[in-house]
Structure 1
């Protein structure tokens, strides 16, 4: 930690858990592999555990930080002079697309995400994927498992479908609680998300896909016939090769995309 950042206490309202294990930090930076001149963007730099080595490798780094105290400390730290652009913003509201257009390149986004906002933040980024080349995030191990889940597993759900439709999911490293200060009560993991230039399962409208997933997984123990009845009849499900008697987690990403596209093409109100 730099002297400029010493004395900052983690704030529960921001979900702050600061990474401090040097071996874990090195492994994450190696996985990210920043190159000189690349448009790197860090969400929630915290005490700069990843900020410092990535800025050194890339030459310059953009950071999005909501905590005003940390933002000020980063802006005034001599070690980051000329290497850091601090965006004082809530990442959930931040326009990553505008930054990409300003820089003229797709962004490489990374961060140790606060657990309390990780899923909505990833959904926010999914809406701007055409301006992102890859993402590396520290998340709850359980969330990474859901992202990478295969059909038929208990972890398979809405997050799985929404992420896998848009990105290749690559678990990178598992991280124990003691790697952080304060130590969280859960295990963590780093995942790499690589947006597809062309998805294997093209979707006509991502918001419709999200709604289909929400309907399908809202009551996981019920069949697709029951869960989808407000949008599609059993006969309509069968017409696109969806068995209405199965539970949602037994289907594949392609099945959910097929339902979403059918709903869009048939102008069903959602």
Structure 2
């Protein structure tokens, strides 16, 4: 049954938007349960496709904000969702969209999306610039991206993406999703992740740009040691001050240790 309603509405998935429409009712139900939207919350969906997740969410929360790039989908979504609740559809590129503009009062945003692979990382970083306005984000992503977002130190998936997102947010992998849940089936496995910005950062830094530079350099050549990758930023005295062994690789360091190194770097720069 799952496929038929998509064929009736005549919208063929478009490659250039990376569209793969979710149709598995079991997976849809599990995602909606994980999000558990409440009446009165500001739920924002990015790229709803044909509304497979939007419909059950809207029935629960009564009103939604939608950001959709494909202008051909906008009237179809409006027609389909209109009877189910209040919907504001913004035909826009989520990577450039001002998420502060749809906040209602001091209600935090709850962001949801089935994101195409090519925009998932830049979009998460764009949304992190609004972290103070966001309660949580639930995304369906390529499984390898979710594995990197949620990775622990000492694993091969742990890298710049893990650190920069985990610095700001608690990250939880929720559900693995096989290709058969989509039409057309993608060539990769997917997974659902919850990313919840911290109200107070557990390991704050003096300068986020210093942290970004340090993490980018530390993981720049994964096989090299900290001493080699950070030789333009740190010397042995800096590591000694923090009790960090410079002969290990960056992937062995916790987010806390990397923030300590970033603060050491900021102190050095202020002293110069």
TM range (shorter): over 0.9
1: CA distance between counterparts of 2:255 and 2:199?
17
Which is worse superposed, 220-229 or 73-82? 73-82
Partner residue of 2:268?
266
Query: What is the aligned counterpart of 2:180 among 178, 181, 186?
Result: 178
Query: What is the aligned counterpart of 2:96 among 84, 93, 96?
Result: 93
Name the SS of the counterpart of 1:35 in structure 2: coil
Correspondence 1:248-259 to 2 at 5 A: 248-259=250-261
1:47 Cα shift?
0.8
| TM-score, reference length from structure 1 | 0.93
1:118 Cα shift?
0.5
Name the SS of the counterpart of 1:137 in structure 2: strand
1:81 Cα shift?
6.7
Name the SS of the counterpart of 1:62 in structure 2: strand
2: CA distance between counterparts of 1:87 and 1:213?
35
Q: 1:81 to 1:170 in 2, by over 3 A?
A: closer
| Deviation sequence 1:8-63 (CA, Å, 0-9, x none) | 11111111111010100001001000111110000100010001111111001101
Q: 1:170 to 1:258 in 2, by over 3 A?
A: same
2: CA distance between counterparts of 1:72 and 1:148?
36
Correspondence 1:27-42 to 2 at 5 A: 27-42=30-45
Instruction: Work out whether 1:50 is the aligned partner of 2:53.
Output: yes
1:4 Cα shift?
11
The number of residues matched between the two structures is 267
| TM-score, reference length from structure 2 | 0.92
Partner residue of 2:80?
77
Q: 1:241 to 1:44 in 2, by over 3 A?
A: same
- Whether contact under 8 Å (2:151, 2:162) holds in the other structure is yes
Partner residue of 1:214?
216
- Whether contact under 8 Å (2:177, 2:189) holds in the other structure is yes
Q: 1:5 to 1:202 in 2, by over 3 A?
A: farther
Partner residue of 2:29?
26
1:136 Cα shift?
0.5
Provide structure 2 residue ranges, at least 5 long, that are not aligned to the other structure.
Answer: none
Name the SS of the counterpart of 1:266 in structure 2: helix
Provide structure 1 residue ranges, at least 5 long, that are not aligned to the other structure.
Answer: none
